[in-house]
Chains A and B, each alone.
Chain A
């Protein structure tokens, strides 16, 4: 099979069967990508780390990266299109009917139960990223405490501030504190 078609089809499958997004696609990625020798499992793991420090959805990052490795620029185009197309088609179909669909009594009942659950899951997402930021293994990461407090203070003072500003601020504080005062991490240990 033509390599471009194969990239498209493989990532189409990955996009189609990944429910819940993000890391849920790793096992699938391993099966489809590693078995074709497009990448080794080590590369996939290394790339997860890269993907965490670059913007954008993990699935798209991964598709672009593997596509580029295997088939250059056009390879990247095909695999990225592949991973995005299933979501696009499915959501388009749902969005088309959602307005009428959402008026249905049964759909309303289902959504009534889902709403608090989704809000709870966002709380958990905040909690788990907090856990990763604050715990060092031996104790509490004091630099994270500083960055969190500054960011929180800025938000309290300027509630209308753009979240992107908070992202840049915490990046800059990370560079300053980890780069120049690394011993602060262990102040609380």
Chain B
């Protein structure tokens, strides 16, 4: 009982930090999840982050909440998922509640603007780093390299929505594994 309570508290504080330091939303939270949930707590592995994102991106709702609920459930069951989800949402909730009276003044404040313009360049470094780490976690078969390149082209050049790119990846993976890949390798 005590142990369960401690796990839930850890989930709450970890995801509170993740919620509090994710600027720009969405993928910008990946570096912090890697640090907090993978390196510090060993709740999940780098490979699991990829699966987690695949699930979070192809289901409705907010990426941050989806990830918190999923990790929370795997670590601490229902109460774990509740603790993580409340944790990830609470920082935004508190900050916006405080700001809501004077959000225009906040937005038009030049120092806030300078800080935020600085953050963009920093978040770019963080995301590159995450990309490198997750790239290492992939198995480097030609099939994976081709799909990776196709996904980049589809998103950056043709500007197709992520959900369609992910669904296509799933379909291609299914066809490839069912009809072309030898059975023994697939079992691994």
Q: Once the chains bind, are A119 and B23 in contact (CB under 8 Å)? A: no
Given A55-B21, A87-B62, A171-B119 in contact, is the A111-B97 Cβ separation under 8 Å?
A: no
Partner pick for B113 among A53, A83, A134, CB 8 A cutoff: A53
A50's partner among B63, B81, B99 (CB-CB below 8 A) is B99
Instruction: Please name the residue on chain B nearest to A128 by beta carbon.
Output: B156
Given contacts A57-B62, A110-B173, A123-B152, contact A116 B145 (CB under 8 A): yes
A112-B173 in contact given A57-B64, A118-B50 (Cβ < 8 Å) = yes
Q: Indicate which residue in B107, B152, B162 contacts A46 across the interface (CB closer than 8 Å).
A: B107
Interface of A is mostly: helix
Q: Which of B56, B65, B145, B176 has the most CB of A within 10 A?
A: B65
Given contacts A58-B25, A110-B170, A117-B165, contact A65 B103 (CB under 8 A): yes
Closest to B114 in A: A178
In the complex, which residues 87-141 of chain B have their Cβ closer than 8 Å to any Cβ of chain A? 88-89, 91-93, 95-97, 99-100, 103-104, 106-107, 110-131, 134-135, 138
Q: Once the chains are docked, how many angstroms separate the CA of A122 from the CA of B177?
A: 24
A22 in contact with B122 (CB, 8 Å): no
The answer to whether A151 touches B122 (Cβ under 8 A) is yes
Do B35 and A19 touch across chains, with their CB atoms under 8 A apart?
Answer: no
Are A171 and B115 neighbours in the complex by a CB distance under 8 Å?
A: yes
Q: Complex Cα distance A185/B50, Å?
A: 36
Q: Tell me the nearest residue of chain A to B72, going by C-beta.
A: A95
Contacts of A10 in B (CB 8 A): none
B165 touches A121 (CB 8 A): yes
In the docked arrangement, what's the CA distance between A174 and B115, Å? 5
Q: Which residues of A contact B14 (CB under 8 A)?
A: none
B117: chain A residues within 8 A (beta carbon): 133, 143-144, 174, 178
Give the Cβ gap from B31 to chain A, nearest Cβ, in Å: 4
Chain A residues with CB under 8 A of B35: 162-164
Report the Cα distance A52→B115, complex, angstroms. 12
Whether A172 sits at the interface, judged by CB under 8 Å, is yes
Given contacts A76-B93, A122-B27, A167-B122, contact A88 B65 (CB under 8 A): yes
Whether, in the assembled complex, A56 has its beta carbon less than 8 Å from a beta carbon of chain B, the answer is: yes
In angstroms, how far is the closest chain A Cβ from the Cβ of B125? 4
* Residues in B whose Cβ lies below 8 Å from that of A86: 60-61
Tell me which residues from 6 to 61 in chain B have a Cβ below 8 Å from any Cβ of chain A: 17, 19-28, 30-32, 34-35, 39, 50-51, 53-61
Q: How far apart sit A18 and B72, CA to CA, in the bound complex (Å)?
A: 22
* Alpha-carbon separation in the docked complex, A162 to B126 (Å): 10
B54, closest chain A residue (CB): A114
Known: A15-B61, A52-B24. A133 touches B124 (CB 8 A): yes
Beta-carbon contact of A50 and B113 below 8 Å: no
Q: For chain A residues 65-85, which have a beta carbon within 8 Å of chain B? A: 65, 68-69, 73, 76, 80, 83-84
**Can you list 11 A-B contacts with CB-CB less than 8 angstroms, sorted by A residue number?**
A53-B119, A56-B64, A58-B25, A60-B62, A110-B173, A113-B169, A116-B169, A117-B54, A130-B128, A144-B121, A167-B23
Pairs of residues from A and B, 5 with the lowest C-beta to C-beta distance, nearest first: A113-B173, A174-B118, A170-B122, A56-B92, A87-B61
Known: A121-B162, A171-B119. 7 other contacts (CB 8 A): A113-B147, A118-B169, A119-B151, A125-B27, A145-B121, A170-B121, A173-B118
